[in-house]
Structure 1
Amino acid sequence: MKFALKTLSAVLLSASLPLVASANEQKINDAMAQVGLTVQQISPSPMAGVSQVVTDRGLFFMSADGRYLIAGNILDLESWQEVRGQQVPANLKDQVMAPIIVEKLAQQKDSVIEYKAPNEKYVVHVFTDPSCGYCRKLHSEMKDYLAAGITVRYLAYPRAGVASETGLQMQHIWCAKNQRNAMDNAKDVKKVDKAMCQNPVASHYELGQFFGVSGTPAVILPDGQLIPGYMPVAAMIEQLGAK
């Protein structure tokens, strides 16, 4: 009889688990909606009692009861890695986001403006804005990147928004018959001819926000790691070689 009672208790407990998970997910969905975020995916995180939540604005962590929202980096003090010659704790947020970023960038292959290296060794994606000084600096060194075997794929990220003057200019660039020539002109502060079409500028901008881009240039390495800011060719090669 005791065995039967224990078995029955186990069955009842296991049957209740999906209901608990469902209730927690509903709390998380409701909490995210309060702060204007749309949930795309909820899954357990390595932290007890905390879920990792993919939203339309990137990755967040939230307590199972939907009360506490964690926005920002989560550092694992038991897992260290070398970054630019320094040992730093692994960032759980980066680890979770990296494969998501790689997958979403693959879906954008036909919408980027590509500068292909003749002897390609690496492919990096760069969220760019022609009005950004460091974006122009990076572009001025494009020959060096290509000579080093680094293919550069540009995505649009007008810092002032899609409806801004730069946002409109970027639409002209992506709609130009010769996109690379239009991009070269924009980065060299030359005239870009007006051209309109169905273009990916708005979707690139939204994707950048999802990835957590806060400024330009924002470089994404082949493994999905996001590097904010300009990086000289030598430093880029060193970073890529460490992967």
Structure 2
Amino acid sequence: MIILSGKAGGIIILRRFIKVISPLLLLPSLAMAAYPDAVQVLVDEGLKVEASFDAPGGLKGFVGRRNGHSISLYLMPDGEHVVIGKMVDGFGQDLSAEHLRNWLPKPDLTGAWQELADSAWVSEGPSDAKRIVYVFSDPNCGYCVVFREKAQPFLERGIELRHIMVGIIQPSSLAKAASVLGAEDPVKKLEFHDSQFPRDWLESEENVPQDLRRLVQSNNQLMESLFVAATPSVFYKDRDGAIRKIVGLPDDSALSEAVFRDPE
């Protein structure tokens, strides 16, 4: 047994200690990579993986969201390749839709109502309404025009509709949305764009004032954070006060029985 003391001994022990721990210094990057490389690449690009599971065919399944879209992906048995998209069985059944239903958690909308209230919106209906409905609306969205038309009779019953203006569909969308938010009479400006649809309004977004640009971009980001990727997307409260959402144009029964039901 050799015992070293003093400075020399300390240096030798330190060197041996460094040799032992130096391989461990490489581990954090490996340990922090929560997914195989083929999946991690997508995570680095913005995919939020929310669940993994054993999929048919010996594959490893993952479900998550990116830019408001729900996504299913499947890791091949070699662990090095990923297939993104729909999985079907021999009967033509959409297994991916089932995987999304079973494994993808519902978004937590607990704080969404205040976020919606704090966004940049245009109001139709009574300002003292007992019931409020929010809708993300793009001026280049034909279904948004239809939704607004269908909403008008309900507003006369004491319901306020707040249009959260976004610009996501066409290059002119941002400029159109900004023009509504910045107009002296926003509802009249919204009506103008509705009357012009589907003709393109050749207004460059380069001419949009920075304050209005930021408002529209903030609305775009809010829409993405609430995991909605299409317009119109409607948010309302059910009879128990829970926040509900419908992505896309609601059918007539949903409009009358849920979204625009009579104020209580």
| Smaller-chain TM-score bracket | 0.5 to 0.7
Q: Provide structure 2 residue ranges, at least 5 long, that are not aligned to the other structure.
A: 1-26, 55-59, 87-95, 238-242
Q: Residues 55 and 116 from structure 1, CA distance in 2 versus in 1: closer, same or farther, beyond 3 angstroms?
A: same
Q: CA deviation at 1:114?
A: 2.5
- How much has 1:173 moved relative to structure 2? 1.4
- Distance in 1, matches of 2:249 and 2:130, equals 22
**Contact residue 136 and residue 223 of structure 2 kept, 8 A:** yes
Instruction: Choose the corresponding residue for 1:140, options 132, 136, 149.
Output: 149
1:219 aligned to 2:242? no
Pairwise CA RMSD: 4.3
User: 1:21-79 CA deviation, whole Å, 9 max, x = no partner?
Assistant: x9486226872434763256x6557x578666455545546679896677686538xxx
Q: TM-score, normalised by structure 1?
A: 0.58
Question: 1:153: Cα distance to partner?
Answer: 1.9
**What is the correspondence of 1:16-165 to structure 2 with a 5 Å cutoff?**
23=31, 26-27=34-35, 31-34=39-42, 37-38=45-46, 53=64, 55-60=66-71, 74-75=97-98, 91-92=101-102, 96-97=106-107, 99-100=108-109, 103-104=111-112, 106-110=114-118, 111-117=120-126, 120-161=129-170, 164-165=171-172
SS in 2 for 1:188: helix
Q: 1:122 to 1:24 in 2, by over 3 A?
A: farther
1:185 aligns with 2:201: no
TM-score where L is the length of structure 2: 0.54
Count of matched residue pairs: 199
Structure 1: unaligned runs, 5 residues or longer: 1-18, 77-89
Change over 3 Å in CA distance of 1:39–1:138 after alignment to 2: closer
Equivalent position amino acid for 1:31 in 2? V
Identity %: 15
Is residue 122–residue 150 contact of structure 1 (8 Å, CA) maintained in 2? yes
CA distance in 2, matches of 1:25, 1:149: 53
For residues 115 and 57 of structure 1, do their structure 2 counterparts lie closer, same or farther at Cα, with a shift above 3 Å needed?
same
Give 1:236's aligned amino acid.
L
1:238 aligns with 2:243: no
Cα deviation, residue 96, structure 1: 1.3
